[in-house]
Structure formats: C-alpha cells, structure tokens
Amino acid sequence: MQHFINDSNMAYSTIHAGSYNIFIGDIFPKLEQWLDGQSFSSIIILVDENTERFCYPTLRKALPSLAKKTRLLDIRSGEVHKTLTTCTYLWEKLTYYGADRNALIINLSGGVLSDMGGFVASTYKRGVRFINLPTTLLSMVDASVGGKLGVDFNGYKNHIGLFAGPAAVFVFPGFLQTLPKREFKSGIAEVLKHGLIADKSYFNDVIGQLEANDIDFQNIVEQSVRIKNKIVLQDPQEKGLRKVLNFGHTVGHAIESWSFESGEHLLHGEAIAQGMRVELLLSGKFSGLNKDDAHQAIQYLEKHYGKFIPGNEALDAILKKMHQDKKNNGGRLLFTLLEDIGKAVYDVPIAEKEVTGALEEIIGV
C-alpha cells in the first residue's frame, strides 16, 4: 500500500470541538497567529526520536520564531514507553525547566505521545495548557481529538488516565509523507472503523481509494475527525454514545497488550483490525448485522492486515485482559457491535464462551 500526498497550495479547514478548534490543512500560518494571540511563560515541545528527526525540521522552517523561544523535550517512541515511569521523567524535566502553570506544551507526536503528553500536561501543577500537532495518520484521526488521555499500567492499555481537552489541534497532512508503510496501515484501521460505525458510504469510499491507490488524505482525515468529533460532542465523558468509538477495541486492546508481553509488538491499528474482525463476527451473530456484510468486511480486513495466529497459550491471557476493559460492568463483557455497516450499538453483553468461539474462528487461537 503506497501513499503520497501533495501538500502544495493546501488550504485549511476548521472543525469546532466544543472548547477548542481543530485546524486541518496548511496550518502553520494559523498556528503562528494562534500563538501570537496567547501569552505563555514558556513553550515546551514534546517529541520522540522520529518526530524530532522527520517533523520538527518542517515546523522549525515554517515558524522560525517559534523555534527560538521553545525547548525540546524528547522521549523514546513506542507503546512500551507509555508508562508512569516515562511520565515521571517528563514531570521531572518540566520541573527542571521551571515550567509554571502558564506554560504551553506542544505534543508534536503520534498517538502514544499525544495520549501521554496530554496526560502529563493535565496533571502537572494541576494542569497546564497543551496543543496537539499530530504526525501520524492514527493520531490525526483518533488520538489527538476527543480529550481521552492516559498511560498503560501493569500490562493494561490506557489503565490510568483522565478526560481533558487540548487548547487546540493543528493537523498538517504533509507529515504523512514521513510515515513508514506499516504506520500508515495502522492509522487506516481507525479510518475504516469510523466508516463501519457511522457512515457506510464513507467506508466504501475509503476502500475504493485504497484499492485504486489514489488517496485523498486531507479529505480522509477531515471526514474521520468530523465523525469522531460529532460523537464526542454528544457524550464527552463516554457515558453512552461515545462507546461506539470502541468498536474493535475490546478484543483489539487485549490483543495489543498481550502482543507486547509476548514480544509480538503489534501496532495499535494492527491489533484493532484483528479486534474488528472478531467483533464483526460477533455482530453477525448477536446484533443483527447481515452475515454477508460481516463476512465481506472480515475478508477485506484479513486481506490487508493478514491473520493473527498467536497460539493456544494466548487465549487465557487475551480473555483476562478483556475482563479489564473499561466498558465492562458487573463482571460482564460488554461490546460495541454493528447492526449494519455504518450503524453501531453499544453495551452488548456477550458470554465468554461465545467470545472464545469467535476468537478461535477468526484469529486461530
């Protein structure tokens, strides 16, 4: 799956997300204007080794005045570093730099650092302002939007966290040119999820673009952000409707966490693609999704993400992690499933034996 984006003459669009705005496109003039309209005692940019090498030079060239008055704070990339230990390091560095409550933290990052950087900012001195400049497709369409922040804990995905919105989000699709193919495919999984839960025509359109290898990145990012934002605005604290965004995640997060413990190290989207395959099968059995539609979507995901066959010894570990899913209630496994392509339902209880059967059928454990 190859990709290319032409970022010349790119306009920008604005999406209102309640207390903040999301700007998508040629965002650097708008970012400079936004910064000039604020007052900060200091500005710290959080990066990892990839965003420092591939994305920070673009930001520095576009806004040389920003580079002169900021400090870089770097961590290692990867889910394995999304821990309280890393947060402690960042809190210590912020303290050493003398950052006060009027500081600004800029997350120039993918999904891991978007989640963790926002969490660190929101807990440091009871909260300092932060903005997101997402650099991967996954962070552009998912992690940087919605205000869900957190870190992994004791092998459980996003086990410690809170809800807190950024001051703004600035999405520059040109950063996607820096992505390896595998990272790009990981992000596309969340794009496909948005279509599956909320917009059948969008789902089919994205598949068509992928099959034709002719992808309108700015449009995909904008449409996915609009879908997620519309849902989040109706349910910011994930009490009901927002749970539909977790389609594929009950199984997917468990697989992702298990993969790190086992050494497989799946990317988030790779694990979610497998989770969606399992939950599509469950949807065909328990929530009314047409079985032919379920099979077709399962086959498409298998074509692009392959089969994940972890072995029989993984079943108990994956199920155990699913029982820690934040959507569960009273010890019951609760799922987001599909009634139709483009229409999701949430809080669907599924017996463990049925989940086990679906895992065995889809991923071969």
Q: What is the pLDDT of residues 167-226, one digit of tens each?
A: 999 999 999 988 999 999 999 999 999 999 999 999 999 999 999 999 999 999 999 999
Q: What are all long-range contacts of 297-303, with beta carbons under 8 Å and residues at least 24 apart?
A: 297/196, 297/341, 298/362, 300/207, 301/192, 301/273, 301/274, 301/276, 301/277, 302/277
Name the pLDDT band for 31 (thresholds 50, 70, 90). very high
Asked if pLDDT for residue 262 goes beyond 90, the answer is no
Which residue from 250, 279, 252 is spatially nearest to 339, judged by alpha carbons?
279
CB crowding 138-168: b at 16 or more within 10 Å, else e: bbbbbbbbbbbbbbbeeebbbeebeeebbbb
Does residue 185 sit within a domain? Answer: no
Q: Tell whether 116 and 157 lie within a shared domain.
A: yes
Name the pLDDT band for 3 (thresholds 50, 70, 90). very low
Q: Quick one: pLDDT at residue 8?
A: 42
Q: Tell whether 119 and 244 lie within a shared domain.
A: no
Does residue 7 sit within a domain? Answer: no
Average pLDDT over residues 242-247: 96
Q: Quick one: pLDDT at residue 87?
A: 97
Residues 298, 251: Cα–Cα separation, whole Å:
14
How deeply is 324 buried, as exposed, middle or buried, from its count of CB atoms within 10 A (0-12, 13-18, 19+)?
A: middle
Does residue 6 sit within a domain? Answer: no
- Using the 3D structure, point to which of 133, 149, 178 is the last residue of a domain: 178
Does residue 184 sit within a domain? Answer: no
Residues 114, 102: Cα–Cα separation, whole Å:
20
Give the pair of three-digit tokens for residue 195: 């279509």
Residues 269, 247: Cα–Cα separation, whole Å:
12
Does residue 272 sit within a domain? Answer: yes
pLDDT tens for 137-148 read 999 999 878 889
Question: What CATH number did the domain enclosing 104 receive?
Answer: 3.40.50.1970
Asked if pLDDT for residue 4 goes beyond 90, the answer is no
**How many domains does the chain contain in total?**
2
Average pLDDT over residues 334-338: 97
Does residue 183 sit within a domain? Answer: no
Q: Quick one: pLDDT at residue 329?
A: 79
Does residue 1 sit within a domain? Answer: no
Q: Quick one: pLDDT at residue 10?
A: 63
Q: Tell whether 78 and 18 lie within a shared domain.
A: yes
- pLDDT greater at residue 316 or residue 175: 175
CB crowding 2-40: b at 16 or more within 10 Å, else e: ebebebeebebbebebeebbbbbbbbbebbeebbeeeeb
- Per cent of the chain over pLDDT 90 is 78
pLDDT tens for 99-136 read 999 999 999 999 889 999 999 999 999 999 999 999 99
Name the pLDDT band for 5 (thresholds 50, 70, 90). very low
Helices (DSSP H) in the chain: which residue ranges? 28-36, 49-54, 56-62, 64-68, 84-96, 111-123, 137-138, 181-198, 200-212, 217-234, 249-262, 268-286, 291-305, 315-322, 352-362
Which residue from 43, 198, 65 is spatially nearest to 121, judged by alpha carbons?
43
Q: Quick one: pLDDT at residue 324?
A: 82
- Per cent of the chain over pLDDT 70 is 97
Question: What CATH number did the domain enclosing 325 receive?
Answer: 1.20.1090.10
Residue 275 belongs to domain spanning: 194-362
Residues 304, 307: Cα–Cα separation, whole Å:
9
Q: Tell whether 162 and 247 lie within a shared domain.
A: no
Q: Tell whether 203 and 121 lie within a shared domain.
A: no
Judged by average pLDDT, the poorest of 21-25, 86-90, 283-287, 356-360 is 356-360
Residues 318, 324: Cα–Cα separation, whole Å:
10
Q: In whole numbers, what is the pLDDT of the chain averaged over residues? A: 92
Residues 137, 175: Cα–Cα separation, whole Å:
9
Q: Tell whether 174 and 283 lie within a shared domain.
A: no
Q: Quick one: pLDDT at residue 50?
A: 94
Residues 161, 164: Cα–Cα separation, whole Å:
10
Q: Quick one: pLDDT at residue 133?
A: 97
Asked if pLDDT for residue 365 goes beyond 70, the answer is no
Q: Tell whether 156 and 212 lie within a shared domain.
A: no
Q: Tell whether 164 and 72 lie within a shared domain.
A: yes
Residues 29, 150: Cα–Cα separation, whole Å:
30
Quote the DSSP letter at residue 142.
Answer: I
- Using the 3D structure, point to which of 119, 147, 178 is the last residue of a domain: 178
Average pLDDT over residues 241-250: 96
- Using the 3D structure, point to which of 113, 144, 178 is the last residue of a domain: 178
Q: Tell whether 155 and 223 lie within a shared domain.
A: no
Does residue 321 sit within a domain? Answer: yes
**Could you give the count of Cα atoms lying within 13 Å of 41 in the half-sphere of its Cβ?**
10
Q: Tell whether 214 and 258 lie within a shared domain.
A: yes
Strand order, beta sheet including 21-25: 12-16, 21-25, 168-171, 129-134, 104-109, 43-48, 70-75
Q: Tell whether 294 and 214 lie within a shared domain.
A: yes
Which residue from 272, 273, 269, 249 is spatially nearest to 324, judged by alpha carbons?
249
Q: Tell whether 28 and 138 lie within a shared domain.
A: yes
End-to-end Cα, the chain, rounded Å: 28
